[in-house]
Amino acid sequence: MSRKPVAFLVVGIIVAVALVIAISTGASLFLGKSPVAASGKVAVIKIDGIILSSEDVIHQLKKYSGNPSVKAIVLRINSPGGAVVPSQEIYEEINKVRAKTGKKIIVSMGTVAASGGYYIASAADRILANPGTLTGSIGVIMEFASVEQLLKKIGIKDQTIASGKRKDVGDFMRTMTPDEKEYLKNVLRDVHEQFVEAVAKGRKMKVEDVWALADGSVYTGRQAQKLGLVDGLGDLQDAISVAGKMAGIKGRPAVITEEKKTSIWDLIKGQDASSLFQGLIGKNLQGMMYLYAAPEIR
């Protein structure tokens, strides 16, 4: 075989390989993927609306913590808080994941991440908020309605029989006595202390410093940073970038998330419908709440 055919063959192979690489790179860019392979993935878990259950979030935390390709987790919180126990359960699961796997968990705060939303956030390795995020609201709330006066007007009398003097505390058929109000205040104080202690532990702050901020006040993201409640300012993409760097991922990390189908129930319990939800069922039916009852701001 002469040298010319061999040379043409070698050149042809080089051109073919170059074309394959070019096409692959172009396809990657077209699909929105970086041609530089990342050394790991960042999982994004979304916490939206009023928190009434911990099941879905804990399921995702367990799933991603057991996935070796996931090097870090970002919690995107856009919630005014919710029931006490689900908030505490998610907080504890975050601590378990961090302790068992060493994976970094970063919080990205959306429009609001207050009360139970902040309770959860305080367990993370790092918290990023937008400058205008509403956060904080470290406190507990329990609301009761009374229709006693209405019943009197229409001639209906309550005849509840209870096994003890406090068994029917909060019954909407009658007004609470001063003694019952003080009794419930003592219960709330203990749950409030649990909130403060959790924040102090998660944020590595002195308990007395957290108490100074724990009167239910909300803060903007910028204010919260100055107070030590968040670590920095940034959006979701910033949080993903921080998570990748903290996890030692080289290049832009691949992002995975679990998309949920929105049901009517999701819309009812969502943040935009929170006031409607609270008015329809009453917060007392859900027990004590780590909840920021946000007014509508226009």
pLDDT score, position 27: 40
pLDDT score, position 296: 39
Question: What is the arithmetic mean of pLDDT over 62-83?
Answer: 96
**CATH code that applies to domain 35-291:** 3.90.226.10
More confident residue, 199 or 296: 199
Within the chain, residue ranges assigned H as helices are 3-30, 55-65, 84-101, 116-121, 148-153, 178-203, 207-211, 221-227, 236-246, 264-269, 274-281
pLDDT score, position 263: 59
More confident residue, 38 or 232: 232
pLDDT band at residue 158 using 50, 70 and 90 as cut-offs: confident
**Tokens standing for residue 283:** 């917060």
Provide the pairing of β-strand 134-136 with 218-220. antiparallel
**Torsion 118-122-123-125 (CA) sign:** positive
Residues 13-39 have pLDDT tens digits of 555 545 544 444 444 433 334 444 457
pTM to 2 decimals? 0.77
Which residues have a catalytic role annotated?
115, 167
Question: What is the arithmetic mean of pLDDT over 229-250?
Answer: 96
**Residue ranges per structural domain of the chain:** 35-291
Residues 74-124 have pLDDT tens digits of 999 999 999 999 999 999 999 999 999 999 999 999 999 999 999 999 999
pLDDT band at residue 143 using 50, 70 and 90 as cut-offs: confident
pLDDT score, position 163: 83
pLDDT band at residue 281 using 50, 70 and 90 as cut-offs: very low
Three-state secondary structure readout of 30-79: HCCCCCCCCCCEEEEEEEECCECCCHHHHHHHHHHHCCCCEEEEEEEEEE
Return the C-alpha torsion angle 112, 58, 54, 137, nearest 10.
-30
Distances (CA, A) of 49 to 80, 170, 190: 7, 26, 25
Inter-axis angle of helices 178-203 and 84-101, to 10 degrees? 20
Mean pLDDT, rounded, of the chain: 81
pLDDT band at residue 152 using 50, 70 and 90 as cut-offs: confident
